[in-house]
Each structure stands twice: as C-alpha cells, then as structure tokens.
Amino acid sequence: MRSSSLFIALSAVAGAVASFGELPAGVPRNVDEFRAKHPYKRSTGCGGKRRIITIRDSKNETDDVADEFLEGLQKANHGGTLYLPKDKLYIIGKPLDLTFLDDVQVHWDGEVKFTNDTPYWQANAFAHPFQNSLMFWKWGGKDIKIHGEGILNGNGQRWWNEFAGLEILDPDNEYLRPILFYAENATNFQMEGIHEKDSPCWTNFVVTSQGVSFKNVIVTAESNNASSLPKNTDFFDSLNVVDLTVEKVWVNIGDDCFSPKSNATNVHVDTMYCNGTHGQSMGSVGQYKGEYSYIQDVVIENVWLLNGQHGARIKTWAGPDVGYGFVDNVTFRNFWQANNEYSAFLDSCYFNINASTCAAYPSQMNITNVLFENFSGYTSGKYGTAVAKLTCSSNPNAVCDNIQFRNFNVTSPCGDAVILCDGIKGGLGTDCVASNSTEGIAALKSTCTVPQATSTVTPW
C-alpha cells in the first residue's frame, strides 16, 4: 500500500525528471490550478422553479443534525432542492437511509461531516456483504443530483490511526471502516463539484445502479500521522453498474484512483489526475467462490498518474475458492506517468496469493480485447528496467487474448525499458520478454530510484 499526503508541485520536480521526459504542458499543480484549468460551472443551483429547502446548521462539532438532514431531503423530494450554504457545518452522527429519493437536488456549498465515534459506527452503520463494507448512509432512488463547491468530510484520521497495520481483505479483520458515500438502486445519479475529504475507507461505492456520473470532483485523504496513512480510500468502487461517467476529477488518496468491481458495463473516464494511488484499476474481480462477474466496454483516457503504485491495472483473483467471468473491451488511452512502479499491470494472482497456490488454482477470469494506447512518462525504478508486466492465468479454460500496446513510450530511470509478459496469446504489438527469461530476470534486478515528487505546502 502506498500513499502520499501531498500532491505534486511540478516546479519542484522538473529537474529530477528532465532526463526521463518532459512534463505535459498545463498540468495543474494543486487544487486551485485544477479548478482554474477545469472550472466548475454551477448548475441551476437555487434558481429556476425548484422549491428550496434549508435546515439548521450545527452549532459545534458534536451538534448532530442527522434528523434535520433527513427531514430536509424528505421535504425537497419530488422536485425540490436542499440548500446547504457556504461556511455552514452539518454534523451527521447516526446512519441515514436516503433510498427514497425521486427528482431531488442538493445544492451543497457547506460542509457535511461525520462524527468519528468509531465504536458507535462499527455497531450501527449500514452493512454490505462485499468485502464486509460499512456505510455511514445510503442514497438511492431516481434523478438525484448533488452539486456545489462544498465538502463531504469523513473525519478519517481516527479510523486510519486505529486501523494501522491491518488489511481490509484479511479474513480475521474485525475493524471495519465506513465508506464515505454509498448509493444503491440509483437511476440517473450525478455528483458535481464536491470535495470528498478524508474517507475512513472507500470514498464512493455504488451498487446496482444505472446512469451514474461524477464530474469536477476533488477527492483527498491526507493524514497528519506518518505511521497511519490513509488506506483503502479508493475514489470509486462499484458492483452491478451500467452507464458510468467520470470526468475531470482530482484524486490524492491512498489506494485505487478508480476501481469498478464486478459487473460494470459501459464505463467512460475522461481526465483524471491521480497522486499516490494504486492506479486506474479494473477489479478486483473473481473474488468469491462460484460467483460470475465481468467488466466490459470501458474507455479510460487522459490520465496523469504520479507517485503511486501502478498505472493502468487489471486484477483478478486466483485460489481454490474463487469465481469466474471475464474482462473484455477495455481501452486505456493517453496515460502520462511519473514515479510509478509498473505503468501497465495485469495481475492474475491478486492479493497475496503465493505462487504455488496460484499455479495450482489459477484464475478463472478471461481477459480479452485490452488496449494500452499512447502511454508516456517514466517509472520509479522499483522493478528495474521493467516498465510493464502482464501475467495471464495459466488455467487452460481462461482465455487471455488480443492484449495490445500501441504507441507505448514509457521509460525507466534504470536503463532501456523492458515489458514483461507471461501466458499471453498472440503478439502485443511491441516487444516483450517472459519474466523468468534471462532478459526478464536481468531487467528486474536493474533497480534504481528517482526522487519522490512532493510539495512543501499542502495545496488545499
């Protein structure tokens, strides 16, 4: 797990990267520059013909207005707008079921903040069986729009401190952390402009929904404790989602920048800036025994990935008790990277499954029609001159076909770039070597490092 509490300041690293490649022109260095480059254009807001509902704000950090928030949405439902003014604080101290919504908007310029009473929330939060997820609240219904320049604050520091050293996927993990925003059975849901801040766990989890859009959203998770960094704070996770759009998003967290899981169809991501993340990930998929899962028809383009683990990533489970299915028709296009481990990574043995178990029980997921196109930048040198690694399942019934590289120009600070590939049928469109070949072993041994790209001032 890797994270960074500070986003890149390009001026601080220009000298360090000069020998590896030029920084793209006009890439924002902080939230203010992101907003300047991609201005949030307010929707109708409080104007128009919608009726406006307001609620009282919290007097202090312990003044719970959860009941008022619920009542406000009930009054705004069926054609109204709940208005949360700028510089107002709304403390939520108990779980809210908001799955009744129909044609409602939230004009969100204030700050909504959850209490950090970790024993209370672990005992009282909503639960979902997928990876033992907890949720502060749950939204659902149809024609829901959240828009504004406000903050949704998960108050995550205490959660990160108490979770330090644990793993979310460990079977014996009993310390469960709530997801910041959860929606289920939602049709035509939009979030625009909001700053989602310091989630205890995943930032967004959307389940069994269609027509989902996140636009001009800022997502950060920053710790004040170097020994307890944000963990598992993915920007986006999903189950059973159709027609998903993500556009112009700034992400500085401690896990996947983007990560739809089982049964995602028709996904389009355009323009994301990711720092300290695990990459733009498909999955993981195939985790649960006997479960059929898939990801299909995905385009992710115009992405900047810095100071993280991987770039474009596909991850599937192996082992004796896993599921089956496929990942098909996925395009990663126009990726620029700096100081990541592998710029492209296909992992068919996800999450600490040892090599012997993976060989005995290989992944049952088909991987087909994947394109990595227009990649540039440089890696961290952790894996030497290897800049990408694609490992297909050895299962004779798992197809791994038509994996293509096109205009792939990622370099390594350690020497001439090498692409590792194992078990792929057909050509990649570029040279590659097996990871256990003489060339592959030499590439992995030729390690080096580059400076972490950091700023001395937190830009938000």
Question: Could you tell me which residues come within 8 angstroms of residue 116 by beta carbon, excluding any fewer than 6 positions away?
Answer: 155, 156, 157, 158, 159
Beta carbons within 8 Å of 259's beta carbon, 6+ residues apart: 234, 235, 236, 237, 278, 281, 282, 283
Q: What whole-number distance in Å separates Cα of residue 291 and Cα of residue 309?
A: 28
CA dist., res. 63 & res. 69, Å (int): 12
> Hey, which bits of 216-263 come out as E strands?
218-220, 237-252, 256-260
Residue with tokens 């993915």: 234
Is residue 190 domain-resident?
yes
The torsion defined by the Cα of 281, 282, 287 and 290, in degrees rounded to 10, comes to 180
Question: Does 164 map to a domain?
Answer: no
Question: Are 422 and 434 within 8 A, CB to CB?
Answer: yes
Q: Can you read off the two tokens belonging to residue 368?
A: 């087909």
**Is residue 200 a part of any domain in this protein?**
yes
* Euclidean distance between CA atoms 264 and 372, whole angstroms: 19
- Tell me how far apart the alpha carbons of residues 26 and 21 are, in angstroms, rounded to a whole number: 15
Residue with token string 């029609």: 369
How far, in Å, CA of 317 to CA of 133, rounded?
19
Q: How far apart are CA 371 and CA 352, in angstroms?
A: 26
Catalytic residue among 255, 256, 347, 422: 255
Assigned domain for 76 exists? no
**The CATH number of the domain where 109 resides is what?**
2.160.20.10
Query: Would you state the pLDDT for residue 55?
Result: 98
- Per the DSSP assignment, residues forming a β-bridge with 215 are 192, 247
Question: Is 384 among the domain residues?
Answer: yes
C-beta separation of 313 from 329 below 8 A? no
Residue 453 lies in a domain: no
152: helix, coil or strand? strand
Q: Which domain holds residue 331?
A: 10-48+104-114+141-156+179-445
Which residue from 238, 296, 302 is spatially nearest to 269, judged by alpha carbons? 302
Exactly one of 237, 278, 310, 422 is catalytic; which is it? 278
Give the pairing of strands 151-153 and 137-147. unpaired
**Is residue 443 classed exposed, middle or buried when 0-12, 13-18 and 19+ CB atoms within 10 A define those classes?**
buried
Q: Is position 87 within any domain?
A: no
Token pair recorded at residue 400:
């791994």
* pLDDT at site 285: 97
C-beta separation of 361 from 317 below 8 A: no
CA-CA-CA-CA dihedral for 430, 434, 437, 443, to nearest 10: 60
Closest CA to 182 of 160, 206, 161, 158: 206
Give catalytic status of residue 255 as yes or no: yes
Dist CA 194 CA 376 (whole Å): 30
Quick one: pLDDT at residue 18? 39
User: Is 128 a residue of the active site?
Assistant: no
CB-based contact 231:1 (threshold 8 Å) = yes
Cα end-to-end distance, the chain, whole Å:
24
What confidence score (pLDDT) does residue 48 get?
Answer: 66
- Domains of the chain: total: 1
**pLDDT at residue number 9:** 38
DSSP string, 5-67: SS---HHHHHHHHTTT-PPPTT--SSHHHHHHHS-----STT-TT-EEEE-PPPSSTT-B-HH
pLDDT for res 30: 82
Distance CA 31, CA 250 (A): 8
Per-residue pLDDT 10s for the chain (460 aa) are 344 333 433 333 333 443 454 556 788 878 888 999 999 987 654 556 899 999 999 999 999 999 999 999 999 999 999 999 999 999 999 999 999 999 999 999 999 999 999 999 999 999 999 999 999 999 999 999 999 999 999 999 999 999 999 999 998 999 999 999 999 999 999 999 999 999 999 999 999 999 999 999 999 999 999 999 999 999 999 999 999 999 999 999 989 999 999 999 999 999 999 999 999 999 999 999 999 999 999 999 999 999 999 999 999 999 999 999 999 999 999 999 999 999 999 999 998 889 999 999 999 999 999 999 999 999 999 999 999 999 999 999 999 999 999 999 999 999 999 999 999 888 899 999 999 999 999 999 999 999 865 433 333 2
User: What type of residue sits at position 415?
Assistant: G
Phi, psi dihedrals of residue 323, rounded to the nearest 5°: -100, -165
Q: What is the bridge-based pairing of β-strands 111-114 and 137-147?
A: unpaired
